[in-house]
Amino acid sequence: MSEEEDDIILSELDDDELVQQMFDDLYDGLKEEIEEGVNILLERKWEPYRILTEALVGGMTIVGRDFRDGILFVPEVLLAANAMKGGMAILKPLLVETGAPRVGKMVIGTVKGDIHDIGKNLVGMMMEGAGFEVVDLGINNAVDAYLDTAKTEGADIVGMSALLTTTMPYMKVVIDTMVEQGIRDDYIVLVGGAPLNEEFGRAIGADAYCRDAAVAVETAKEFMARKHNQMAAG
């Protein structure tokens, strides 16, 4: 058999096969194939959000499981993350393209000591898509980065992301500093990341823990509505 006959033509696969193939390609860190897969699903009229959650996040879940189990290592996971980012870059303008009026402003970043940014980027994208203005601080943020930017930008929401059990306590440092400075109530504080849960969010004094980007959007909208009602009442 010639090599070409061995090659899988993504566009010839049906939707289920294509998503399965994208899981494999993400696993293998094949950025171009992931980009091609995303484009094919878009041509087949899949909603950008569905592509994001079913094909990309679905694939990353498998990578995460094998990373945990010691089957994959950091270099391979980095390649997978890079492939995922390639797909996300195509979807971002489509998710953001709502033309909705700005409903609020969020400063978001990954906490000090932590370089995981895929989840944070996803939350930022979804928030923008829902009409929020998003200021992305990137990774490895100390207290000042959050608080100075929130102040200068006049943010409504401060969002913190942590993917490591060793970095998640830093969220409390940020919130405690807000309390010390008497500015805690000026902001809605949302936290997220795989190792967190609701109990942790409550314990550190956040307004809410959000398990994924869709919940983050819903929660942010709810809090903004409350804030507006309070302002109207007061």
Contact positions with ligand B12 (CB under 6 A) in 38-77 = 57, 60, 63-64, 67-68, 74, 77
* Helix %, strand %, coil % of the chain (to 5): 60, 10, 30
Does residue 207 contact residue 189 with C-beta atoms inside 8 Å?
Answer: yes
State the residue for tokens 């010839």.
Answer: 12
Judged by CB under 6 A, the residue of 183, 195, 226, 228 near ligand B12 is 195
In whole angstroms, give the CA distance from residue 13 to residue 168. Answer: 41
Residues of span 211-230 touching ligand B12 by CB under 6 A: 212-213, 216
Stretch that binds ligand B12, among 23-31, 40-48, 109-117, 171-179 (CB under 6 A): 109-117
Site for ligand B12 in 119-148 (CB under 6 A): 119-120, 122-123
Sign of the CA dihedral running 151, 154, 157, 163: negative
Q: Residue for token digits 């094949």? A: 30
Residue with smaller CB distance to ligand B12, 20 or 169: 169
Of 191, 204, 206, 224, the one binding ligand B12 (CB under 6 A) is 191
Rounded Cα–Cα distance for residues 1 and 9 (Å): 16
Residues at the contact surface with ligand B12, assessed by CB under 6 A: 57, 60, 63-64, 67-68, 74, 77-78, 81, 108, 113-120, 122-123, 159-161, 163-165, 190-195, 210, 212-213, 216
